Amino acid sequence: MNIVIVGAGEFGSTLAETLAGEDNNIKVVDMNDSRLARLAGRVDVLTILGNGVQLGLLETLDMKTTDLVVATTTDDETNVVICHMAKRLGCPRVAARVRSPEYADQIGFFKDQFEIDFIANPELDTALDISRYVLRGYAAHMQSFAQGRVSLFDVQVSALPHLIGKRLAEVDFFHGMLVVAIYRDGEVIVPSGTTELRLQDVLYLMGKRETLTSFARELPNVGERHVTRKVMILGGGTTGYYLAQRLLVNGLAVKIVERSEERCNYLVSRLKGALVLCGDCTDLELLQDENLGEMDAIISLTGNDEENIMLSLLAKQHGVPKVVAKVGRSNFVPLVEQLGIDRAVNPVLISAGEVTRFIQGGAIASLSLMFGGQAEAVEIIVPEGAAIIGRPLAEAKIPQGMIVGAIVRNQQVLIPSGRSVIETGDRVIVFCLRNEIPALQKFFYTKKRGFLYELWHGGKGHRKPPTT
């Protein structure tokens, strides 16, 4: 696919990096030369210096042969204009990043009148992600797939001391679950039977939701059922605003701590029912006066990573059951979760996952970028003719960095083994390291082609997005 990304900021770069792993020709436009140089040194994309709103530039990029334009500049209005222009010049699909809450209720208008196919809103996506976690009954963080039938759950090996030093094949402990990944020393490993478990490892288990919930309930200090009623949000920025709005709708008590008085007034006028506290988030007296320890959940969303991490650690120390921190640097996400903070969120990664899913189109039901973008968990409805169909998984020569975590067939969840055979129409959840994404495509989308075809087309085959 030919993709043009306007803006090489964090969002644009992450998107470029995610999409470049697949069979896409990506051009990135930005006005900052050094930012482009940094990107070009890391990712196989063509960088173009210039202003994306310029008609001349868009014309030289040839919108008629471009399949998709994503506008990710810091400016909402610019993004809308770029997308509209691109569409008029003949680009079939366009996506814009629009973040401002003022525009949130006119997204429909943008989509219809300006013919923008997809609006990415990292702050809103993040708020939705956090609210889903907060509203769930358990403190343990679980990611869900296949309409909630399948869950992904992370557990530290230190909580299961009898497993340390054992090989995965010897462990007769995870019944009805599959260890799809191990996070070790900052790297993600897709384990095999011979992988030995170590003290600092974090295991990622996939399985039926019911199995995992009962498993989690057995674990010490993880599994108590906990209904969230009181939430404190530290930092009243855009994400905080969206989150408060969601939580209020669900009838929770929300306190927001925000530094700027002007912003406080804005929040008070827009959020009916929330208690807005005007003060410094790092003012411990203020937090203690407001019963930090009594909260069911603390969400740190200030613009400063260090502040968010410190505040979250403080909250954990006070025994708050659910603690979430926003982390702006995407590669720190898994690290922060290892510190004992329940959940670290990165708006860019969450939203880049959404945009990727939009780009992939029909066959992909959900896609989340994990471990700071080092891996993807993808839910795919296996299309007819995919190479994986009809062979036992053990014989399919699936590369080491990829694992099928669960198969959903006729509403039934199957935990795959080497003998499992995937059929057309199965919903599979695949965990895949970033550098194996081409293999993901090879197995799940395209038919097998000859060696010469691979030679000429760079080995990945050309794939048009399936239309819905």
Partner 1 sequence: MNFGMVARVIGSLLLLEAAILTIPLGVSIYFQEQAGIWGLALSMGIAAFVGVVLVSLRGTSSRLKNREAILIVTLGWFFTSLFAALPFIFSGSLTSTADAFFEAVSGLTTTGATVISDVEVLPKGILFWRSFLHWVGGMGILVLTLAILPSLGVGGVQIFRMESSGPTPSKFTPRIAATTKILYTIYLSLTAVQVLVYRFAGLDLLDSFIVAFGSVGTGGLSPYNDGFVRHSGNVLLLVSVGVAMIISGVNFSLYYDLGKRRFRQVLRDSELRLFLAIIATSVLLLTWNLLGNVYDTLAESAKMAFFHVSSVITTTGYAAADYDLWPAFGKGILFVLMFVGGSAGSTAGGVKVIRLLVAGKLVRRELDRLLHPKAASPITINGRVLPAEEVKGAVSFCLLYFFVFILGSLLISLDNIDLFSAVSATAAALGNIGPGFGAVGPMQTYAFFSPFSKILLSFFMLLGRLEFFAFLILFSPRFWRE
Longest distance between any two alpha carbons in the chain, whole Å = 71
Applying CB under 8 A, which part among 24-32, 125-133, 236-244, 309-317 lies near partner 1?
24-32
For 47, residues 6+ apart whose C-beta sits below 8 A from its C-beta are 8, 27, 28, 29, 30, 36, 37, 39, 40
The answer to whether 190 touches 400, Cβ cutoff 8 Å, is yes
Applying CB under 8 A, which part among 20-28, 167-175, 283-291, 344-352 lies near partner 1?
20-28
With CB under 8 A as the rule, give the number of residues binding partner 1: 29
Residue choice 59, 170, 187, 210 for contact with partner 1 (CB under 8 A): 187
For partner 1, the closer of residues 298 and 375 by Cβ is: 375
Site membership for partner 1, residue 194 (CB under 8 A): no
By DSSP bridging, strand 343-345 and strand 364-370 are unpaired
Residue choice 9, 31, 43, 414 for contact with partner 1 (CB under 8 A): 43
Applying CB under 8 A, which part among 35-43, 74-82, 159-167, 222-230 lies near partner 1?
35-43
Site membership for partner 1, residue 284 (CB under 8 A): no
Window 406-445: contact mask with partner 1 (x via CB under 8 A)? ----------------------------xxx-x-------
Residue choice 9, 27, 230, 248 for contact with partner 1 (CB under 8 A): 27
Q: Which of residues 368-407 bind partner 1 (CB under 8 A)?
A: 400-401
Residue ranges of E strands in 72-226: 93-97, 118-120, 142-145, 150-156, 177-184, 187-189, 202-208
Applying CB under 8 A, which part among 33-41, 134-142, 160-168, 312-320 lies near partner 1?
33-41
Applying CB under 8 A, which part among 26-34, 92-100, 168-176, 252-260 lies near partner 1?
26-34
R_g over Cα of the chain: 23
Q: 238-249 and 122-135 helices cross at what angle (nearest 10)?
A: 40
For 169, residues 6+ apart whose C-beta sits below 8 A from its C-beta are 193, 194
Centroid of chain to Cα 103: 23
Applying CB under 8 A, which part among 105-113, 128-136, 224-232, 448-456 lies near partner 1?
448-456
CB of 184 to partner 1, least distance (A): 12
Centroid of chain to Cα 455: 33
The answer to whether 54 touches 394, Cβ cutoff 8 Å, is no
Site membership for partner 1, residue 42 (CB under 8 A): yes
Which residue in 37, 40, 38 sits closest to 26, CA to CA? 40
Applying CB under 8 A, which part among 42-50, 276-284, 332-340, 362-370 lies near partner 1?
42-50
Site membership for partner 1, residue 34 (CB under 8 A): yes
CB of 92 to partner 1, least distance (A): 18
Q: How far apart are CA 243 and CA 144, in angstroms?
A: 20
For partner 1, the closer of residues 43 and 104 by Cβ is: 43
Which residue in 48, 47, 94, 43 sits closest to 67, CA to CA? 94
The answer to whether 233 touches 255, Cβ cutoff 8 Å, is yes
Site membership for partner 1, residue 33 (CB under 8 A): yes
Residue choice 45, 69, 142, 429 for contact with partner 1 (CB under 8 A): 45
Spatial strand order of the sheet with 25-30 comes to 46-49, 25-30, 2-6, 68-71, 93-97, 118-120
Window 46-65: contact mask with partner 1 (x via CB under 8 A)? x--x----------------
Task: Kindly list the residues in this chain that would bind partner 1 in the complex (CB under 8 A).
Answer: 2, 24-27, 33-34, 37, 40-46, 49, 187, 400-401, 434-436, 438, 454-456, 458-460
